[in-house]
Amino acid sequence: MLLLGYLLARSCEGDMREKIRQAKLRLLKMHFESGVGHIGGNLSCLDLLMYLHHRVMKAEDVFVLSKGHSAGALYVTLWSMGRLKDEDLARFHGDGSMLAGHPPPNWIPEIRFATGSLGHGLSLSAGIALAKRLKGEPGKVYCLLSDGEWNEGSTWEALIFISHQKLDNLTLIVDSNGLQGFGTTKEVADLGSLSDKLRSFSLRVDEIDGHDVDSIAEAFSNAPVGPRAIVARTRKGNGVSFMENAMEWHYLPMSEELYMQAMKEVGG
Amino acid sequence: MRNVLCDSLVGHAARKEFVFLTGDLGYNALEPLRAALGDRFINSGVAEQNMVSVAAGMSSLGLVPWVYSIAPFAYARPFEQIRNDVCMHGLHVVIVGNGGGYAYGPMGATHHGLEDYGTLLTLPGMHAFVPAFASDVPVIVDTLFDLKRPSYLRLGRCEKPGDFVLPPYAPWRRLLDGRGPAMVAVGPLAGGILEIFRRMDPAIRPALWVLTELPIRKESMPEELVRDIRQSGALFVIEEHVAHGGAGQMLSYALTEMNEAPREFIHKFAKGYVSGLYGSQLFHRKECGLDPESVAAEVVRRYGTAAKG
């Protein structure tokens, strides 16, 4: 019986890995066709977004993408769930599109808030979590932040509030890829251990490999006790050799040659 | 007006959707509201950016958050949060700025709100309320619950002469008849000048109007006001707000669109710190020509002779 359960779980996670691979291919295609950048930070959080939306979140849960520059990964995740269509993705970043380079307001039910200016999402999530508590509504709130976003003072304001209000229906997830707009996080504003700092605010913190499905699954399977954080070690441009850990892929569009190489590496 | 606001909000405490967030302010004023709301009264600390985004998050789940601080801390510090999180999503969040204009007087420039409603009204869907009299506050509070859109409430100090009987609340009210210029006072400034103008000869005193809701749109301007402007040929606007984005600019724009531009337009507004020195609200009003005596003297200087002739 135990063996059967184990094999079933392995099979499910194998299925998840394939879903992620397909999403990665679609993400590369969307960014290539639209000729825009930000692909590096999208690839660093795609595994997390896919697992969260496909395996963790229930109908009553809410997700806020605080690192709005990873809108592409969110759009593709929603596409993988049937919430967006191929023709929607085809208009990404174009004229007359609802899919702007950062999540838009008032178009897509799953995107509750337009984000893109960093330092807003955690406070918005805290407001949703507190409202759920006051109204006695079920459901959890998940918020994905970048590591560079911890430069923003408002993110720390939100952390103080979450800790003080003991918002145990909120999980913050940090896409810790170590690179930000114009340098590494260590070069720009070295925080040392973000996990330790989050723990000092009484959050329960899990540090995981943000590209390992088993590791992600284990973190999300832990029952929350109080507000919690998942600090995911990730690679900017994950899965594409020439993009991995390279700051320029925060900005660059792909040439056709590089796109073909990327698709080949991902197995397309 | 702060205590009247508190009493009015206590009257709405039974609304389950009502939540109140303060940026660690309200001592000796908001205690009854705190008692009435219980866990729906949230002191979110000295962190106004977080406070506004939290309010937006709560509003997205159907709650009606009121956010409270001293005027500049309520609108200037969290401006991007009001813009992105509240207004872009058309959320029903009420921003309360206590002590608009020079109301915080000798506390200094950082505590003055001289450009609050002009700045906020650049945002989509925003509506601003500037109650002139304490009795306006309960009516406006009811409206703010019903409005279901982003809004800003600038609180000041009621300066109504004790025995003056006000007409029923309306965004535009004519307080005094007169054959001088049409005068529009924004918010509490009207109270101070009422006393001096009601003693003045109606032949030269202005037809005094008070305005308490912004923005100004030509569609919502009263016919009687337009008639007063047309008959006198002059419009005099006073407001404790900078000229840019103020009621004077909005009014002149609307009248020009209506082809009703007056021959003469006088605008008295907050000029910042004319001498570079600080003092009471009255001190700053005097420096800007906004105190009752300066306003009355300006009216007499411009229109007194013509009336006698």
As to burial, measured by CB atoms within 10 angstroms (0-12 exposed, 13-18 middle, 19+ buried), residue A253 is: middle
Quick one: average pLDDT of A36-49?
93
Mind telling me how many Å the CA of B46 is from chain A's nearest CA?
A: 9
Considering the domain boundaries, does residue B218 fall inside one? yes
Specify the residue for token string 């496909």. Answer: A54
Judging contacts by C-beta atoms under 8 Å, the chain B residues touching residue A130 are: 42, 54, 57-58
| Domain co-membership, B83 together with B151 | yes
What is the Rg, in whole angstroms, of the alpha carbon atoms belonging to chain A? 18
Domain total for chain B?
2
Question: Which residues does B309 contact at the CB level (< 8 Å), separation at least 6?
Answer: none
DSSP classification of residue A58? -
Quick one: average pLDDT of B277-303?
96
CA atoms B29, B31, B33, B39: torsion sign: positive
Omega prior to B150 cis, within 30 of 0: no
pLDDT per residue over B267-280, tens digit each? 999 999 999 999 99
Is B40 in Cβ contact with A127 (below 8 Å)?
no
Quick one: average pLDDT of B3-18?
97
DSSP per-residue codes, A153-198: HHHHHHHHHHHHHT-TTEEEEEEE-SEETTEEHHHHH--S-HHHHH
Judge whether residue B307 has pLDDT over 60: no
The full length of chain B comes to 309
Contact with chain B for residue A131, Cβ under 8 A: yes
Quick one: average pLDDT of A15-35?
96
| Domain co-membership, B240 together with B273 | yes
Structural domains of chain A, with CATH:
11-266 (3.40.50.970)
Is the distance from CB of A107 to CB of A66 less than 8 angstroms?
no
| Domain co-membership, B178 together with B259 | yes
To 10 degrees, what angle do helices B136-147 and B2-10 make?
Answer: 50
Determine the residue among B16, B50, B69 to mutate to test chain A binding: the one whose Cβ has the most chain A Cβ atoms within 10 Å: B50
Tokens standing for B58?
A: 């709560």
Judge whether residue B309 has pLDDT over 70: no
Contact with chain B for residue A106, Cβ under 8 A: yes
Question: Rounded distance, CA A63 to CA A36, Å?
Answer: 25
Question: Rounded distance, CA B5 to CA B9, Å?
Answer: 6
Considering the domain boundaries, does residue B206 fall inside one? yes
Q: Which run of H or E residues covers position A127?
A: helix A121-135
Lowest mean pLDDT among B138-142, B285-289, B305-309: B305-309
Nearest-CA neighbor of A66 among B84, B82, B149? Answer: B84
Judge whether residue B305 has pLDDT over 70: no
Percentage, residues of chain B above pLDDT 70: 98
Is the distance from CB of B18 to CB of B37 less than 8 angstroms?
yes
Q: Who has greater pLDDT, A65 or A35?
A: A65
Considering the domain boundaries, does residue B45 fall inside one? yes
Predicted local confidence at residue A2, as pLDDT: 62
Considering the domain boundaries, does residue B163 fall inside one? no
| Domain co-membership, B81 together with B19 | yes
As to burial, measured by CB atoms within 10 angstroms (0-12 exposed, 13-18 middle, 19+ buried), residue A101 is: middle
Predicted local confidence at residue A13, as pLDDT: 78
Nearest-CA neighbor of B68 among B25, B11, B19? Answer: B25
Predicted local confidence at residue A250, as pLDDT: 77
DSSP classification of residue B168? P
| Domain co-membership, B12 together with B143 | yes
Residue type, A146: S
Angle formed at CA B288 by CA B282 and CA B293, multiple of 5 degrees:
60
Is the distance from CB of B120 to CB of B128 less than 8 angstroms?
yes
Question: Rounded distance, CA B203 to CA B260, Å?
Answer: 23
| Domain co-membership, B206 together with B232 | yes
> Please, how many CA atoms are within 13 Å of residue B178, restricted to the half-sphere of its CB?
29
Judging contacts by C-beta atoms under 8 Å, the chain A residues touching residue B19 are: 131, 134
Judging contacts by C-beta atoms under 8 Å, the chain B residues touching residue A137 are: 61
| Domain co-membership, B149 together with B293 | no
Q: What is the CATH number of the domain that holds B17?
A: 3.40.50.970
| Domain co-membership, B150 together with B36 | yes
Judge whether residue A246 has pLDDT over 90: no
Contact with chain A for residue B124, Cβ under 8 A: no
Question: Rounded distance, CA B222 to CA B113, Å?
Answer: 28
Question: Rounded distance, CA A173 to CA A186, Å?
Answer: 19
Predicted local confidence at residue A153, as pLDDT: 98
Q: What is the CATH number of the domain that holds B212?
A: 3.40.50.920
pLDDT per residue over B28-83, tens digit each? 999 999 999 999 999 999 999 999 999 999 999 999 999 999 999 999 999 999 99
Residue type, B148: K
Quick one: average pLDDT of B144-154?
97
Is the distance from CB of A68 to CB of A114 less than 8 angstroms?
yes
Question: Rounded distance, CA B194 to CA B4, Å?
Answer: 21
Considering the domain boundaries, does residue B164 fall inside one? no
| Domain co-membership, B203 together with B75 | no
Is the distance from CB of B116 to CB of B98 less than 8 angstroms?
no
Predicted local confidence at residue B306, as pLDDT: 47
Phi, psi of A117 (to 5 degrees): -80, 120
Nearest-CA neighbor of B77 among B106, B46, B108, B107? Answer: B46
| Domain co-membership, B179 together with B243 | yes
Considering the domain boundaries, does residue B286 fall inside one? yes
Q: Who has greater pLDDT, B185 or B309?
A: B185
Quick one: average pLDDT of B279-283?
97
Is the distance from CB of B70 to CB of B104 less than 8 angstroms?
yes
Nearest-CA neighbor of B51 among B95, B9, B89, B92? Answer: B95
Paired strand residues for B210: B173, B185
Considering the domain boundaries, does residue B166 fall inside one? no
Judging contacts by C-beta atoms under 8 Å, the chain A residues touching residue B67 are: none
Considering the domain boundaries, does residue B95 fall inside one? yes
Nearest-CA neighbor of A178 among A170, A164, A168, A189? Answer: A189
Specify the residue for token string 């305005």. Answer: B211
Judging contacts by C-beta atoms under 8 Å, the chain A residues touching residue B84 are: 114-115, 117, 120
> Count of CB atoms within 10 A of residue B204's CB?
21
pLDDT per residue over A143-163, tens digit each? 999 999 999 999 999 999 999
Mind telling me how many Å the CA of A207 is from chain B's nearest CA?
A: 26
B114-to-A89, B77, B292 alpha-carbon distances in Å:
46, 14, 19
Question: Rounded distance, CA A246 to CA A237, Å?
Answer: 7
Mind telling me how many Å the CA of A109 is from chain B's nearest CA?
A: 12
| Domain co-membership, B120 together with B210 | no
DSSP per-residue codes, B3-67: HHHHHHHHTTTT-TTEEEEESS--TTTSHHHHHHHGGGEEE--S-HHHHHHHHHHHHTTT-EEEE
Paired strand residues for A229: A172, A205
Where a domain ends, among B130, B155, B180? Answer: B155
Predicted local confidence at residue B308, as pLDDT: 43
Task: For residue B299, give its domain range.
Answer: 172-308
Where a domain ends, among B155, B185, B209? Answer: B155
Task: Provide the chain B residues 42-71 that lie in CB contact (below 8 A) with chain A.
Answer: 42, 44-45, 47, 49-50, 52-63, 65
Give the mean pLDDT of chain B.
96
| Domain co-membership, B100 together with B197 | no
As to burial, measured by CB atoms within 10 angstroms (0-12 exposed, 13-18 middle, 19+ buried), residue B259 is: exposed
* pLDDT range class, residue B303, cuts 50, 70, 90: confident
Is A135 in Cβ contact with B81 (below 8 Å)?
no
Contact with chain B for residue A136, Cβ under 8 A: no
